[in-house]
Structure 1
Amino acid sequence: MKRLLFLLLASSVFAACHKNAITNRNQLALFKEETLQQMALTEYKTFLSQNQVMSETTNKDAEMVRRVGSRIAKAITDYYTQKGATEVLKELATYKWEFNLVNNKEVNAWCMPGGKVVVYTGLLPITQNEAALAVVLGHEITHAVAHHGNERMSQGALAQGLEVAGNIATSGNSKYNSLFNNVFAPGAQVGFLLPNSRKQEYEADHLGLNFAAMAGYNPREAVPFWQRMAAAGGGQKPPEFLSTHPADENRIAKIQSYMNEALTYYKPVGPTR
């Protein structure tokens, strides 16, 4: 019986593994994207109702967030149109992009499945300009379109021994709702499988830099931005092997290695501040 259960589990996991058209690597995805998008929309609406959302009609920074985010979203579609990636384009067509700035001193930004994006006002003193903001949004949006959250949830489900055979229904299921919140909820700190999380961070840095460049923003702004982020951290971060994010010096070195590729996509869109 144990052997049968193991075989059922193994076959389910194998069936859920596929080559991700964006990251170009095999990825575990036990959850349906449309299910995660529905859950994300609920979480997003709840978050906005509980926070002060800055109006883009009266706040120039909120308008900037929408403008930069919209250019990044268009750049992603252009990027995969050029590559003829019909599978990716079909999924991107389901995204209902929203870009909001909330009044919060925390240095943070995130993108949920389906294109629900929030930037915190506390991030803007560190980004300082549109190009650096584009680097951040390119990074966060890549996490969403590359299904990094689905991968993390799937790994977490296995790590917790949750049921993975058959169709996984998350709606109304407290175990899966909790897992979703641990991965996607604003401020979530997930500790599963740390090296894989750093791999996702590097993927988001790499592709996000290309998307920012293709949107017309100078990718060279990524290095001074991450240097400012490192300085803002005050040296209080844990060692890399205990962190879900790469050490600052390692991240900056990787970004510098991506720069020549990103510059091939860079065509300035005009003056930005």
Structure 2
Amino acid sequence: MLKKTLLSTIAGLILSACATSPTGRTQLIYMPDNQVNQMGLQAFDSMKSKNPVSRNPRYNQFAQCVTYALTRETGGQWEVVVFEDETLNAFALPGNKIGVHTGLINLVDNQDQLAAVIGHEIGHVLSRHSNERLSQETAVSTGLAMVQAVAQPQSALGQTALGLLGVGAEYGVILPYSRIHETEADTIGLDLMARAGFDPRQSINLWLKMDKAAQGGQPIEFMSTHPSHGTRIDNLNQNMNKALQLQQQAWQMGKQPRCMK
């Protein structure tokens, strides 16, 4: 009887935790979004206090211009910060926080390539991937404890929490998103950059540049936690025709970003 009751309780929790991602995929999410957002805010504040923030007006204007063009399509208030870091990386956190490394800005050729990376990272947030990972990897009680743990990033639990949020590499903990999450973020990011008026074809050029940089020995944190460029490019090509149509529609609506590097 106890076993049946326990199984019924677990089944009820699973059913109540079912959600649907922007692409229509079923997700297991039971942590309140406001708590996950708070974790993202705490993590971002910690990073800003412990990592040098770029004061280069050109870098900041470029990153803000690209980000704001993208987030006009998503709605909400988003903050973007450029960090003085030569690794080729960018990230987005629950709570609408975006970080871009100067190394990535130096690498990209144009606004469209930067939009490809930032759009992908925004895709993770829109799909609630951090919440999904926390829900899958932790019990409810542990998950609640991690809300406070983010404020202590050097602790073991804090490092795990940051890893699940997607920024654990800053503290030596790399927990890659699953291939499903990566493909989903690619799809959402490609559509997002196209709806904002950016050229989606430049996403292919961006990943080719990333691969070339990796072969040249440059530190690529972003690539270390993401799938191979070949798999990513195949996925992007499968969705390119739709993205190009979205871009044409955006241009007809007057959406033509002009973000100068």
Question: Does residue 219 of structure 1 match 2:200?
Answer: yes
Query: Post-superposition shift, 1:76?
Result: 2.4
Question: Does residue 264 of structure 1 match 2:250?
Answer: no
TM-superposition CA deviations, 1:11-63 (whole Å, max 9, x none): 2122101223x1211111121111111121111111001112123xx520111
Aligned pair in 2 of structure 1 residues 104, 270: CA closer, same or farther (>3 Å)?
closer
Q: SS where residue 189 of structure 1 aligns?
A: coil
Aligned residues: 238
TM-superposition CA deviations, 1:95-146 (whole Å, max 9, x none): x310111100111100000110000011123222111001111000110111
Q: Of 199, 203, 227, which aligns to 1:246?
A: 227
Q: Which amino acid aligns with 1:269?
A: Q
What fraction of aligned residue pairs are identical, expressed as a percent?
A: 30
Q: Which amino acid aligns with 1:14?
A: L
CA–CA distance in 2 between the matches of 1:47 and 1:177?
Answer: 13
Whether the 8 Å CA contact 2:65–2:259 is kept in 1: the answer is: no
Question: Does residue 189 of structure 1 match 2:201?
Answer: no
Q: Which amino acid aligns with 2:131?
A: N
CA–CA distance in 1 between the matches of 2:86 and 2:126?
Answer: 27
Aligned pairs for 1:5-24 (under 5 A) are: 5-20=6-21, 22-24=22-24
Q: Which residue of structure 2 aligns with residue 45 of structure 1?
A: 45
| More moved, 147-156 vs 5-14 | 5-14
Query: Post-superposition shift, 1:175?
Result: 8.7
Whether the 8 Å CA contact 2:90–2:99 is kept in 1: the answer is: yes
Q: Of 65, 68, 79, which aligns to 1:67?
A: 65
CA–CA distance in 1 between the matches of 2:181 and 2:216?
Answer: 23
CA–CA distance in 2 between the matches of 1:163 and 1:208?
Answer: 30
Normalising by structure 1, we get a TM-score of 0.78
CA–CA distance in 2 between the matches of 1:103 and 1:235?
Answer: 21
Aligned pairs for 1:1-273 (under 5 A) are: 1-20=2-21, 22-55=22-55, 58-77=56-75, 93=76, 96-157=77-138, 162-163=139-140, 168=144, 170-172=146-148, 177=158, 179-184=160-165, 185-187=167-169, 188-190=173-175, 197-234=178-215, 245-266=226-247, 267=251, 269=256, 271-273=258-260
CA–CA distance in 1 between the matches of 2:12 and 2:180?
Answer: 25
CA–CA distance in 1 between the matches of 2:145 and 2:67?
Answer: 31
Q: SS where residue 119 of structure 1 aligns?
A: strand
Whether the 8 Å CA contact 1:107–1:120 is kept in 2: the answer is: yes
| More moved, 215-224 vs 3-12 | 3-12
Whether the 8 Å CA contact 1:110–1:186 is kept in 2: the answer is: no
Normalising by structure 2, we get a TM-score of 0.82
CA–CA distance in 2 between the matches of 1:110 and 1:228?
Answer: 18
Q: SS where residue 91 of structure 2 aligns?
A: strand
CA–CA distance in 1 between the matches of 2:20 and 2:257?
Answer: 37
Q: Which amino acid aligns with 2:18?
A: C
Aligned pair in 2 of structure 1 residues 130, 186: CA closer, same or farther (>3 Å)?
farther
Q: Which amino acid aligns with 1:122?
A: G
